Chains A and B, each alone.
Chain A
Amino acid sequence: MVSMSHKPHCPMSPTDVVDAYFLENRAKVLDLAAFLDRLERSGGDGSDFRIACLREAIAILTDGDGDRARRIQLLLSDPSSEPIAAAPMQGAFGAPNPDLAP
């Protein structure tokens, strides 16, 4: 989803974008890989709802459909629409917690 009145545009060439941002994103994907390895070493089986969402998000990265950031944001969002009865906490998890679903 992008603005209907604004044509999306980045002034850099594709090569410039790769030259400017490849190394930082190389580091980020290695961080993600190391995090999943760390979780495995700790005995984690990936059943945590946050990790399940993360694995779905990783699949979006490579599905070729574009609009990746917005689609991952929606994946990590509470899909309900009504106010909840009372706030159970002040913080947030980063992914919808099925135990708190209305």
Chain B
Amino acid sequence: MKYIDPHIHMVSRTTDDYRRMAQAGCVAITEPAFWAGFDRCSVDGFRDYYRQLTDTEPKRAAQYGIQHHCWLCINPKEAEDTGFAKEVMSIIPDFLDRPNVLGIGEIGLNKNSKNELAVLEAHLELASQRNQLVLVHTPHLEDKHKGTRLILDAVNNAGLNPDRVLIDHVEEHTVGLVLDRGFWAGMTLYPDTKCTPQRAVDILEQWGTDRIWMNSAGDWGDSDPLAVPKARMEMKRRRHSTDMIEKVTFANPVSFLGRSPNFRVEA
């Protein structure tokens, strides 16, 4: 059975991860722009990163039959310096017409500061102006519940259609906030700080399978690029139907991502 990992940072992964993902049935991924583990000190550093996301990674993925897509932004961890963030944001329109770009992301909040919120609002305005899909990172751990509420209000205030916005990294205390307001929700399968496959499937059992997907958010940290197929195994172990597994790990990502004309995947 084929699947899509709709959030994974392949710039931080080795080529054999692409191979193992393809062997496990991965046919497409989307890669949001994110924090590299250190703060970049120049706009050109981001320009090179966006070139990597829009040129290098699609070629690397294609070697294994995986369709690569990406999202562009300056992430919230580097958004405290609003002047620098605006400089970086000024080059994003240069890349939005590249053929694998799906929208703006992963924007959002990290520590829920006023400056982070200002940069989030600027990204939302850009998305609105350019009619882009939006992928939103919600904060970690103790900051997630508050940050999710601030983010949902900011998106509503920006006038974006919630059906074109995915709120990522939902957990037990935030999934209802997101789905009840008409947004799409992403569950991230990540050791210690986000969902285990077991808890993600628990959330599906409580909230259903409409407007929700699962991703690995595999990156440079302790993470698992095969987390999505492992969650599919967990669903199968509990005797959930093949249709339900396919919906959450393939059809739902296709439905949301297909709102961008740049999304491509073999039917």
Chain A interface residues toward B at CB < 8 A: 1-3, 5-6, 8-12, 20-21, 69-70, 73-74, 76-81, 83-97
From B237, which residue of chain A is reached at the shortest CB distance?
A: A20
Kindly specify which of B4-12, B49-57, B138-146 makes contact with the partner chain.
B138-146
> How many Å lie between the Cα of A90 and that of B35 in the bound state?
11
**Contact A94 to B141, CB < 8 A, known contacts A3-B176, A6-B206, A83-B150:** yes
The interface residues of chain B lying within 8 Å CB-to-CB of A81 are 146, 149-150
In B112-127, which residues have CB < 8 Å from any A CB? Answer: 112-117
> Is B80 in the interface zone, CB < 8 Å from A?
yes
B141/A92 in contact, CB under 8 A: yes
Are B173 and A77 in contact, CB atoms less than 8 angstroms apart? yes
Q: Interface on B for A, CB 8 Å cutoff?
A: 35, 77, 80, 110-117, 139-146, 149-150, 171-173, 176, 179, 198-199, 202, 205-208, 210, 237-240
A-B contacts, 10 listed (Cβ < 8 Å): A2-B176, A6-B206, A6-B208, A8-B206, A78-B143, A83-B112, A83-B150, A86-B80, A92-B139, A92-B141
Separation in Å of the B216 CB from the closest CB of chain A? 20
Q: Give min CB distance, A89 to chain B, whole Å.
A: 7
Q: Is the interface of B mostly helix, strand, loop or mixed?
A: helix
Q: A89 to chain B: which residues have CB within 8 Å?
A: 111
Q: Given contacts A3-B208, A70-B173, A90-B77, are A85 and B142 in contact (CB under 8 A)?
A: no
Cβ distance B211 to chain A, nearest Cβ, rounded Å? 11
Whether the Cβ atoms of B173 and A73 lie closer than 8 Å is yes
Known: A12-B239, A84-B113. A5 touches B146 (CB 8 A): no
Residue on B with the closest CB to A17? B238
- Of B77, B172, B179, the contact of A73 (CB 8 Å cutoff): B172
Closest-by-CB residue of B relative to A89 is B111
Chain A residues, Cβ within 8 Å of B179: 3
Chain B residues contacting A74 (CB-CB under 8 Å) are 145, 173
Query: What chain B residues lie within 8 Å of A83 (beta carbons)?
Result: 112-114, 116-117, 150
Residue pair B111, A76 in contact (C-beta under 8 Å): no
Contact partners of A11 in chain B: CB under 8 A = 238-240
Closest 8 CB pairs of A and B: A6-B208, A73-B173, A87-B111, A77-B145, A92-B141, A70-B172, A87-B113, A92-B140
Residues A2 and B207 in contact, CB atoms below 8 Å apart: yes
Q: Which residues of A contact B139 (CB under 8 A)?
A: 92
| With A84-B112, A90-B110 as contacts: A10 and B205 at CB distance below 8 Å | yes
Q: Give the complex CA separation of A76 and B139 in angstroms.
A: 13
B118 to A, closest residue via Cβ: A83
